[in-house]
Amino acid sequence: MWTSLILTSLMIPSIIANLKVFPKQQDLHPNKLQQIYHDIRKDIYTVDTIDQLKPKELRTFGIVRVNATNSIIVSSKLADDAMNPYYAPSLDNMNLKLQQLNDFTEISFQDLETSVIETDWEPIGGCHSNLRSDTPSTYSQGWLLSVGSGVTNTISFTVNSVSVDGYIDLTYSAAISGSITCTVNPGKTLQFQIKSELVSLQNVKTRSVYIKDSTSIWGVITSNFEMGEWDKLDDYTQVNQRNFQTACVTDSTLLQCDYNSDQ
């Protein structure tokens, strides 16, 4: 079960440092495979302990939940496909591909801690001057807010699509994008700005899970698990897609025109 972590003054700058705002819009919709797994995440095949799991079951489903370690075991190939925006799943060959997989990763959220912070207002590009005009002017701007998590597709897929805890799902991602339109009065200067909510995830653990096939002298194939050691994942940051604000700023005391001014 996840717990909330109290932020210290030393932790906040490290979380904010990952935040980047770009004056462009980008399509960030999950592909069909990621959306499918997100929709069925509560029905994912589940075992109480890893000892109850058979290699054939893991290959059949491609992803399994383990209650004892509050974890997900997922195929790296499946995660790569799910996080690929250009991937189009084929129901005809998906199961065949899963049966051929050997490499999996187990991600445990048993000791998960989260810390949440609301950012300051960040500029979306530079300022737009209407100082010389006698009429209002309207501007539109696309934007992209990214925290550049730097984690693997396996981690991103597990956290954002099939997380053990309902608190963290597609609501959180490494980036959000949109657009804003503002009208600025004569004699004013406009800047688009955005503020958001970030969540930092700590104490997530991972280990490799490999299915090793062996053939006896009688031609009988047996499959067994080879487990790696648990490793603690570096803390990483996500952005809340449902908790952000954009603004049309014309108050001269709030403008940050030195960001990239076109005045």
In this structure, the strands spanning 205-215 and 137-146 are unpaired
Q: How confident is the model at residue 5 (pLDDT cuts 50, 70, 90)?
A: very low
Q: What pLDDT sits at residue 11?
A: 47
**Mean pLDDT lowest among 38-42, 174-178, 198-202:** 38-42
> For the segment 8-31, what is each residue's pLDDT rounded down to a tens digit?
434 455 555 667 787 877 666 667
In the chain, domain spans: 3-117+143-180+197-243
Averaged pLDDT of the chain: 79
SS (H, E, C) 178-220: EEEEEEECCCCEEEEEEEEEEEEEECCEEEEEEEEEEECCCCC
Q: H or E element: which one contains 3?
A: strand 3-4
Coil, strand or helix: which one is 93?
A: helix
Q: What pLDDT sits at residue 164?
A: 45
Whole-prediction pTM value? 0.74
Q: How confident is the model at residue 137 (pLDDT cuts 50, 70, 90)?
A: very high
Q: What pLDDT sits at residue 136?
A: 95
> For the segment 207-232, what is each residue's pLDDT rounded down to a tens digit?
999 988 777 677 666 788 899 999 99
Q: What pLDDT sits at residue 97?
A: 56
**Mean pLDDT lowest among 101-105, 110-114, 168-172, 186-190:** 168-172
